[in-house]
Structure 1
Amino acid sequence: MPQLNPNPWFFIMVLSWLTFLLLIQPKLLSLTTTNTPSNKISPTTKTTPWAWPWT
Structure 2
Amino acid sequence: MPQLNPLPWFTILIFSWAVLLTLTPTKVLDHIQPNEFTLLDIKKYQNLNWTWQW
Ranges in structure 1 where 5+ consecutive residues have no aligned partner? 34-55
Number of positions where the alignment pairs a residue of Structure 1 with one of Structure 2: 33
Percent sequence identity over aligned pairs? 48
Q: For the aligned residues, what is the CA RMSD?
A: 1.5
Q: Which runs of 4+ in 1 moved over 4 A?
A: none
- Asked which structure has the greater CA Rg, the reply is 2
TM-score (norm 2): 0.51
User: What corresponds to 1:6 in structure 2?
Assistant: 6
Q: One-letter code of the match for 2:25?
A: Q
TM-score (norm 1): 0.50
Ranges in structure 2 where 5+ consecutive residues have no aligned partner? 34-54
Q: Secondary structure at the match of 2:15?
A: helix
